Chain A
Amino acid sequence: NAGVTQTPKFRVLKTGQSMTLLCAQDMNHEYMYWYRQDPGMGLRLIHYSVGEGTTAKGEVPDGYNVSRLKKQNFLLGLESAAPSQTSVYFCASSYSRLSGYEQYFGPGTRLTVT
């Protein structure tokens, strides 16, 4: 099992450019999440999905869109990148939303917007 994978690992964008981050999991998990991690802060939830075809906003959704067309994939899009979106992005998945099920994290994508 590969677990949770993220593509790409690193990216540099110019202000106004767009890009899509891909998250894939092979554990048949229903729940998937996108977080961002900024220096001196913990991870904050951007968007999440409770199943194929469903998405919802998290704590910091502005400037991002997501799609979950297939159960195993969760895409995070930046339509017009801004320097404030410079961050490390983590995807995570979980079998259940219930307390006892851990979230499995991908390796992260380091994004720099100049």
Chain B
Amino acid sequence: AQKITQTQPGMFVQEKEAVTLDCTYDTSDPSYGLFWYKQPSSGEMIFLIYQGSYDQQNATEGRYSLNFQKARKSANLVISASQLGDSAMYFCAMRPYGGSQGNLIFGKGTKLSVKP
């Protein structure tokens, strides 16, 4: 079964510190993509970062980096130098290559709160 697991319902981090949000995945597809989305309280889904299963290097986008450990099937999001505006729900998602759908499979999310 294709599945994304986010084991941290809620996280707190002090402003300007780094934080890691955990994500593990399960798929039998040899090729897949992993995504992180941010959902602020306003409700929209904002794309943050993408990692392909065959990418050799971990993806980075500004203050976001994805710690990809393929053997462990984990794709943790690291946010460096947290800001108050980072307070939001964060969703890990996977898109397997197999099949014709192309849809994303989402985890249940982690609510991040940044403290001043």
Point out the residues of chain A lying under 8 angstroms from B85, CB to CB. Answer: none
Interface size of A as a range? 20 to 34
Report the Cα distance A90→B91, complex, angstroms. Answer: 14
* Residue pair B106, A107 in contact (C-beta under 8 Å): no
Q: A99-B95, A107-B44 are in contact. Are A42 and B101 (CB under 8 A)?
A: no
Point out the residues of chain B lying under 8 angstroms from A11, CB to CB. Answer: none
Chain A: which residue is nearest B109 at the CB level?
A: A42
Point out the residues of chain A lying under 8 angstroms from B104, CB to CB. Answer: 43, 45, 92, 103
A55 to B: closest C-beta gap in Å: 12
Chain A: which residue is nearest B106 at the CB level?
A: A42
Report the Cα distance A97→B101, complex, angstroms. Answer: 7
Q: Does A58 contact B (CB under 8 A)?
A: yes
A37 to B: closest C-beta gap in Å: 9
Report the Cα distance A110→B43, complex, angstroms. Answer: 10
Point out the residues of chain B lying under 8 angstroms from A105, CB to CB. Answer: 37, 44-45
Contact of A50 among B31, B43, B102 (CB under 8 A): B102
A-B interface pairs (CB < 8 A), number:
65
* Residue pair B43, A42 in contact (C-beta under 8 Å): no
Contact of A102 among B47, B101, B106 (CB under 8 A): B47
Chain A: which residue is nearest B53 at the CB level?
A: A99
Q: A99-B52, A107-B43 are in contact. Are A50 and B100 (CB under 8 A)?
A: yes
B75 to A: closest C-beta gap in Å: 13
Interface string of A23-55 (1 = CB under 8 A from B): 000000001010000001111110010100000
Point out the residues of chain B lying under 8 angstroms from A56, CB to CB. Answer: 101
Q: A102-B50, A107-B44 are in contact. Are A42 and B100 (CB under 8 A)?
A: no
21 contacts between A and B (CB under 8 A): A42-B91, A42-B108, A42-B109, A43-B45, A43-B91, A43-B106, A44-B106, A45-B103, A45-B104, A50-B101, A50-B102, A58-B101, A90-B45, A94-B102, A96-B102, A99-B32, A99-B97, A103-B104, A104-B47, A107-B44, A108-B45
Q: A41-B108, A42-B91, A103-B104 are in contact. List 4 more A-B contacts (CB 8 A).
A: A42-B107, A48-B102, A50-B102, A94-B102
